[in-house]
Structure 1
Amino acid sequence: MLVVFVGRPGTGKTTLARLASAELAAAHLRIDAIEAAIARYGLAGPPVNPVGYAIAHEIAASSLAAGAHVVIDAVSAVPEARAGWTALAAAAGTPLRVVEVVVTDPAEHRRRVEARRSDLEGLVVPTWDQVTALAYEPWDTVRDGPRLLVRNDGTASDTMRQVRSYLMH
């Protein structure tokens, strides 16, 4: 199975992706980690898109081919990024489950973004102004395919109940 967590920075994608990866015994491919490594080793300066996504696709494809579940943690702000995950799952002949994560209270989302600290050397977390300026195109199920929309307004364990149910169907 290919599971993709998408959404703006600061919504809790990484926390949920880590939990899902642990439950599924899946590879966890975090675009931030890939991009931080690229920047840390001087291979490219930020922003490194679409390089991080291309690397994640290759690693995910080989992991899926080896029979492993894969959980992707990526903003996927534009339809082209979303289509890439759909094409990857189709090419691998594996089920795709997309989870879009949002925080519905702008004040809470801002608090989370402003409280974030980088957990990766080379990763600079975005400011609130950068998050709100991000050209995140609204999800369109006709264009982007089905997904579970979760409102990560409470605790991660509450949100994971919804995610778990979706992944098991």
Structure 2
Amino acid sequence: MLIVFGGLPGTGKTTISRRLARALAAIHLRVDIIEQAIRDSGVPADAVGAAGYAVAQALAEANLADGRVVVADCVNPVTASREGWRAVAARASVRLIEVEVVCADPQEHRRRVEERVSDIPGLVQPSWEAILRSGYESWDRPRLVIDSAASSPSEAVAAVLGIAAQDRSS
């Protein structure tokens, strides 16, 4: 099973996806870590582009082929990135659960963005203004939407686990 999280920075994707990966004893692939490692290797920040997603998707596919559950944590901002994850699931012949995390309270979302401290050495978090200008595309398919302003991380994990259990019984 491949569970892919998407959503703007500061919505709570990493908190929820980490907890979910622990609950499922799954591989947790965080695109931010991969992208920062690419930058740390000397690739200019503006040249990283889609490389982080390509690496994450390749790692996901390899782990899925080994029978592992994979939880991907990424902004997943455009249709092309979402299609990439769908293709990985199709090639691996596994179920795909897509999760979009939103924070429907703009003041809370902004507070989170402005107060958070990166847990990845060297990673520069985007500003609130950068997030507002990011060009995040609307989703074109059904997915589980979690409003992190209305539900706790534990409730969010329970919601995804409920979908995963339905998938297993199908």
* TM-score under structure 2 length normalisation: 0.93
- Confirm or deny: 8 A CA contact 1:40 1:121 kept in the other structure: no
Root mean square deviation, CA, Å = 1.1
Residue equivalent to 1:149: 145
Q: Aligned with 1:14: secondary structure?
A: helix
Residue equivalent to 1:70: 70
Q: Does 1:105 align with 2:105?
A: yes
Q: Aligned with 1:168: secondary structure?
A: helix
Residue equivalent to 2:5: 5
Tell which deviates more after alignment, 34-43 or 88-97: 34-43
Q: Does 1:135 align with 2:135?
A: yes
How far apart are 1:45 and its partner, in Å?
Answer: 2.1
Number of aligned residue pairs: 165
Hey, which bits of structure 1, 4+ residues long, moved more than 4 A?
Answer: none
List runs of 5+ in structure 1 lacking aligned partners. Answer: none
AA in 2 matched with 1:22: R
List runs of 5+ in structure 2 lacking aligned partners. Answer: none
- Confirm or deny: 8 A CA contact 1:76 1:82 kept in the other structure: yes
How far apart are 1:121 and its partner, in Å?
Answer: 1.2
Identity %: 47
**Deviation per CA, 1:71-127, whole angstroms, max 9, x where unpaired?**
000111110000011111000000000110000010000000001111111211111
* TM-score under structure 1 length normalisation: 0.93
Q: Does 1:167 align with 2:168?
A: no
Q: Aligned with 1:72: secondary structure?
A: strand
How far apart are 1:44 and its partner, in Å?
Answer: 3.5
Residue equivalent to 1:116: 116
